[in-house]
Amino acid sequence: MLHTILWDWNGTLLDDVEVALAAMNEMLARRGLPLLRGREPYRDIFTFPVRVYYTAAGLDLSAEPFESLAVEWTGLYHRFYPRCGLFPAARAVLQAVGEMGLEQAIVSASHQQALDSQVEEQGLGGFFQARLGISDIYAGSKAGLAQRYLKSQGVPPEQALFVGDTLHDWEVAQEAGCPCVLLAQGHQSRARLETAGVPVLESLTQVPAFLRGLQA
């Protein structure tokens, strides 16, 4: 029986793809490097760990420390962040999931303070039993956050479902022992997501029907 939905934040509930792309293109432009020409080229290379993505985008980590690049990118992301909004119907989807009697938590690679601030700014705080972010800006693995949370709540991993938008979310779900569904609206393309061999939905709006199918 399904008990808990573990939501990713960026690219799953928060539509920040264009902001993340703008931040990277600003970094590339400052260095005279070719820009990423649109959403799809970005979605084709974005990955975790972030240092692999930086290299794929054209940044030279042998010339500049990853840590300084991460600080620069984070500053640009926060500068452009006001352009962000929720994906369409995000609030209605969370409401519908809650009405199914399911608990909900966020498991994110965002810094904890930024995550808390963004969730509150979007008026979604009341939907979640927990908001789990990382403790530094270098976007290491968020694996383990889900495990610790589920253990603390006494929820068997097989009774939780991870909803995300990247292959990293699938890897986190695997490590936590949870089933997973991926959304093709976010930071990675459908073609890449389908390599995981788990259900891939086109958008967030399809999640309630998917959950009802699991509970039938």
pLDDT of residue 140: 46
Distance from C-alpha of 148 to C-alpha of 192, rounded to nearest angstrom:
28
Instruction: Identify any residues that bridge with 163 across adjacent strands, giving them in sequence order.
Output: 7, 181
Distance from C-alpha of 87 to C-alpha of 99, rounded to nearest angstrom:
20
Residue (of 13, 55, 34) closest to 187 by Cα position? 13
Domain tally, the chain: 2
Q: What is the pLDDT tens value at each position of the chain, 216 positions in all?
A: 999 999 999 999 999 999 999 999 999 999 999 999 999 999 999 998 899 999 999 999 999 999 999 999 999 999 999 999 999 899 999 999 999 999 999 999 888 898 999 999 999 999 999 999 987 554 446 778 899 899 999 999 999 999 999 999 999 999 999 999 999 999 999 999 999 999 999 999 999 999 999 876
> Domain boundary residue among 34, 61, 83?
83
- Residue 180 three-state SS: strand
Distance from C-alpha of 33 to C-alpha of 57, rounded to nearest angstrom:
9
Do residues 155 and 4 make contact, with C-beta atoms less than 8 angstroms apart? yes
CATH code of 143's domain: 3.40.50.1000
Q: Are residues 95 and 201 in the same domain?
A: yes
Distance from C-alpha of 15 to C-alpha of 87, rounded to nearest angstrom:
5
> Domain boundary residue among 26, 52, 83?
83
| Per-residue DSSP letter, 87 | P
Give start and end residues of each alpha helix (H) in the chain.
Answer: 17-30, 39-45, 50-57, 66-80, 90-99, 112-121, 145-153, 167-176, 190-193, 207-215
Q: What is the torsion angle, in degrees rounded to the nearest 10, for the CA atoms of residue 103, residue 194, residue 168 and residue 150?
A: 30
Q: Are residues 107 and 198 in the same domain?
A: yes
Instruction: State the CB neighbour count (10 A cutoff) for residue 141.
Output: 14
Q: Are residues 68 and 144 in the same domain?
A: no
Amino acid at position 69, single letter: L
pLDDT of residue 48: 86
Q: Are residues 62 and 120 in the same domain?
A: no
Instruction: State the CB neighbour count (10 A cutoff) for residue 89.
Output: 15
Do residues 79 and 27 make contact, with C-beta atoms less than 8 angstroms apart? no
> Domain boundary residue among 83, 103, 133?
83
What does pTM read for this prediction? 0.93
Q: Which domain holds residue 103?
A: 4-15+85-215
